[in-house]
Structure 1
């Protein structure tokens, strides 16, 4: 399974991604503003790897002037349906289609790991204005919660040891050394409650399942549904997340 095939797998599943992936808590954007030392309201923000616009929508609601950057056909199409009033340009973090010193913030939500930091870090510094902030974050399932740790192990066994499904645990720590930038990190805890079916659909929208194929994914989710019904007899799953946030200032 190559990184390229995983990255492109989202385009065929953009609607499911938009419908089932978790958003982010208000406390995350509070932390972004705190670490950046400036508000998002009125700021020029480039949201890179914007996907279907989950993070872009929150930035827009904060009053930021957002332009989205997205490489995938399917994801960009879904973005335009979701956020018709927000501009989206085609491109990726390794070669940003943006002018020098044109952004106050560059944000990556669940996306920096698809870039080559030796290229994307200098690109971010080129596009940021002096004092501007590069903010990277990932929703990571809180593996300190026992049922989530157990599910991670089941997924690993089913998919041959992959740990990408709920986000790459420890990604932020590795990012701190990426691209030669000086990052400050923060963890933001939050939860959401969804139906068992929505939880399984969220899982199935991750790249390792998308490239595994429909039958393999269906086999896993059928087995997992039985486990979750025993754990959550009321039919609602409490997903617990630790958002890994890293911010670097130009």
Structure 2
């Protein structure tokens, strides 16, 4: 992927912020239990910055967990949606490549579905700069488990139609530690948490339609695929209720 296409994908969400907020999956409590266990400290009372916060799905959960959290988001559309939904949580403009945050000020720096939009050559030293000694960098992604047959079949249909990178098509941008930090400066621990949610078929279609691969297609091409996909899904889920299954892929490193 070229730098320009990467940027275009990253900014594609701003025009679909309401769709993103309404249909994207959340994260299970077990994820935050794992974050606390790996960091060996509670989120309650911790100073946290959630980077690439988007519409605030993860930020709101961190706030509910008792963290003193601030959101950092580069996109105007996503930030506007965030402010409408979470007026009591502060949000500032910025990106992981140049954090608008004070040096050694944070207990946790979190990236939910967002680290892959950064350049680790910049975002790694920035993370180490703003974290206190002993602070934790936590990266996570909802990824699609391909041992679930209907999800594997759907991912293959997306691949065949749009010829996209498999990680993008399968909804899983999670990466092993070597990709998250090519410099090798961070010592990541890794955990996976499986969870699921039951939602109407149309919510599932709106969810996958909010991915960058769909947002960047000609509108008619995306609509045609999603209409066909609806027929596939109703064959598998004749009640119209889909059980989406996710593996949350968590990477966490301590600033030593």
TM-score (structure 1 length as normaliser): 0.97
Q: Is 1:193 matched up with 2:198?
A: yes
- In the other structure, the counterpart of 1:209 is 214
SS at the partner of 1:171?
A: coil
C-alpha contact (below 8 Å) 1:67/1:86 kept by paired residues: yes
Aligned residue for 2:240? 235
What does residue range 61-140 of structure 1 map to in structure 2 within 5 Å?
61-140=64-143
Aligned residues: 250
1:113-192 → structure 2 map (5 Å cutoff) = 113-163=116-166, 164-168=168-172, 171-175=175-179, 177-180=181-184, 181-192=186-197
Cα RMSD, aligned residues only: 1.2
Change (3 A) 1:36 1:169: same
The change in CA–CA distance for 1:97 and 1:204 in structure 2 (over 3 A counts) is same
Q: Provide the C-alpha distance between the structure 2 equivalents of 1:193 and 1:97, rounded to a whole number of angstroms.
A: 38
Contact 1:51–1:76 (CA under 8 A) maintained in structure 2? yes
Q: Distance in 2 between matches of 1:178 and 1:144?
A: 28
CA displacement at 1:176 relative to structure 2: 5.1
1:248 aligns with 2:256: no
Question: Residue 223 of structure 2: which of 195, 210, 218 is its match?
Answer: 218
* Residues 194-223 of structure 1 deviation map (CA, whole Å, 9 limit, x = unaligned): 110000000000001000131111010010
Match of 1:16 among 1, 19, 23: 19
Could you say what secondary structure the match of 1:129 adopts?
A: strand
Deviation, 1:179, is 4.0
TM-score by length of 2: 0.95
Q: How far has the Cα of 1:170 moved from its partner?
A: 5.2
Task: State whether residues 195 and 246 of structure 2, in contact with CA within 8 Å, keep that contact through their aligned partners in structure 1.
Answer: yes
CA distance 1:62–1:170, shift in 2 (3 Å): closer
SS of 2:216 mapped into structure 1: helix
Shift of the alpha carbon at 1:168?
3.1
Once the 2 structures are TM-superposed, how far is the Cα of residue 173 of structure 1 from its aligned partner? 4.7
Tell me how far apart the structure 1 counterparts of residues 147 and 55 of structure 2 sit (CA, whole Å).
29
Cα deviation, residue 171, structure 1:
1.6
